[in-house]
């Protein structure tokens, strides 16, 4: 039987992985694949359609994730750790971080308001770049912060985008897959979840998005592609880069999650996620 120390940390690891994955579904800047779709397809301000169609099912799926994790790892008194408050080690950097968060909220609000008057003031990527500016410009630790960026993962995805564009240019997928069958919301979500396990969710969307215009997908179908490619991260460790990052950090603290340990919880959770999102996007 696992010790309480290991159990509670594994529960926190599962909770973090699932919360990051599911929580990122409901906005166009929640994850890279949503941002790719929002920049590629004209969705107005992008925040409004994501919020209208995906906010409620995302809240439901977050609650379901809690129930499933608790089912596999029932809470017990010996597993609870005393609460601890992390001290602020750099007040100056903390203030800049708060400023960055404020900038994000203001710019998101401007984008939403602009959407109601059919005016796009700036691209979505400007939100991230502007929010990062205070830290990168004003912080005396800017070089140290830049060094801590996961450049290996960024280079990996950049290479995957080049590969996916090359694959698309060969027309291999276009000839091998009958896209006329991938039209309903449940099918789009299921295909997104499965294929994302093999080529990761961001490259999958990069490969699929040129076909969006070609097939004339509706807003609901586009959002199904976004949701399906995102919750693919709940099925296996390799389904999302965030899972790998969380588990790599866990290993540095002396514990980890195995592939099958993740899969036995991720499989029922992902199946329920597909049903919930499909119901809300279909009706």
Residues 191 and 99 reside in one and the same domain: no
196 exposed, middle or buried (CB, 10 Å; 0-12, 13-18, 19+)?
buried
The count of domains in the chain is 2
- At residue 241, the pLDDT reads 77
The verdict on 238 and 111 lying in the same domain is: no
**Shared-domain flag, residues 176 and 231:** yes
Give the phi and the psi of residue 271 in degrees, each rounded to 5.
Answer: -60, -40
Position 20 scores a pLDDT of: 92
Q: Based on the domain organization, do 189 and 236 belong to the same domain? A: yes
Q: Does residue 245 share a domain with residue 118?
A: no
Asked whether the beta carbons of 233 and 204 are under 8 A apart, the reply is no
Within this chain, do residues 95 and 199 fall inside the same structural domain, yes or no? Answer: no
220 in a structural domain: yes
Note down the domain range covering 203. 4-78+152-282
Give the C-alpha distances (Å, rounded to integers) separating 111 from 33, 47, 97: 19, 8, 21
Kindly report the CA angle at 24 between 247 and 262, in degrees rounded to 5?
A: 30
Q: Checking phi first, is residue 106 left (phi over 0); if not, alpha (psi -120 to 50) or beta?
A: alpha
Q: What pLDDT does residue 142 have? A: 86
DSSP letters for 221-257? HHHHHHHHHHHGGGT-GGG-HHHHHHHHHHHHTT---
Q: Tell me which DSSP letter residue 44 carries.
A: T
CA dist 189 and 184 (Å) reads 9
Q: Quick one: 120 and 199 in the same domain?
A: no
Residue 269 pLDDT: 95
In a domain, 145, yes or no: no
Residue 270 confidence (pLDDT):
95
**Residue 159: its pLDDT value, please?**
80
The answer as to whether 83 is a domain residue is no
Same domain for 198 and 98: no
Q: Give the integer Cα–Cα distance in Å for 251 and 257.
A: 9
The reported pLDDT for the residue numbered 1 is 42
- Are residue 53 and residue 183 in the same domain, yes or no? yes
The size of the chain, in residues, is: 283
φ, ψ of residue 200 in degrees (nearest 5): 75, 155
Q: How far is Cα 17 from Cα 46, in angstroms, rounded to an integer? A: 25
Would 194 be classed as within a structural domain?
Answer: yes
Question: Where would I find the H helices in 45-141?
Answer: 47-72, 91-116, 125-138
Structure pTM?
0.79
Element (H, E) at 155: helix 151-170
Residues 35 and 115 in one domain: no
In order along its 283 residues, the chain shows pLDDT tens digits of: 445 656 777 888 888 899 999 999 998 888 888 888 887 777 777 888 898 899 999 999 999 999 999 898 887 654 555 555 667 788 888 899 899 999 988 988 888 787 666 666 777 788 888 988 998 888 888 888 888 887 877 787 778 778 777 776 777 666 666 666 667 888 888 888 888 887 777 777 877 776 665 666 788 888 998 999 999 989 988 788 788 888 887 777 777 778 888 999 999 999 999 999 999 998 7
């Amino acid at each position: 039987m696992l010790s309480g120390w290991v159990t509670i940390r594994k529960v926190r690891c599962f909770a973090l992985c699932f919360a990051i994955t599911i929580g990122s579904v409901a906005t166009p800047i929640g994850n890279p694949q949503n941002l790719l779709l929002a920049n590629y397809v004209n969705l107005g301000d992008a925040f409004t359609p994501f919020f209208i169609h995906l906010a409620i099912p995302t809240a439901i799926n977050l609650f379901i994730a809690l129930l499933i994790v608790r089912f596999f790892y029932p809470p017990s008194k010996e597993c609870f750790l005393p609460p601890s408050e992390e001290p602020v080690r750099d007040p100056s950097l903390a203030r800049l971080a708060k400023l960055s968060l404020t900038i994000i909220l203001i710019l998101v609000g401007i984008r939403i308001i602009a959407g109601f008057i059919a005016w796009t003031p700036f691209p979505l990527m400007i939100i991230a770049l502007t929010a990062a500016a205070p830290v990168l410009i004003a912080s005396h630790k800017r070089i140290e912060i830049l060094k801590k960026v996961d450049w290996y993962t960024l280079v990996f995805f950049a290479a995957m985008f080049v590969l996916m564009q090359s694959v698309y240019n060969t027309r291999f997928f276009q000839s091998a897959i009958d896209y006329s069958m991938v039209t309903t919301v449940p099918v789009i979500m299921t295909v997104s979840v499965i294929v994302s396990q093999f080529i990761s969710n961001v490259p999958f969307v990069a490969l699929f998005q040129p076909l969006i215009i070609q097939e004339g997908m509706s807003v609901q179908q586009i959002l199904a592609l976004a949701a399906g490619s995102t919750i693919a991260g709940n099925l296996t460790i390799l389904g999302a880069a965030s899972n790998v990052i969380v588990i790599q950090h866990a290993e540095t603290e002396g514990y980890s999650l195995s592939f099958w340990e993740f899969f036995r919880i991720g499989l029922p959770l992902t199946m329920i996620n597909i049903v919930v999102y499909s119901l809300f996007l279909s009706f």
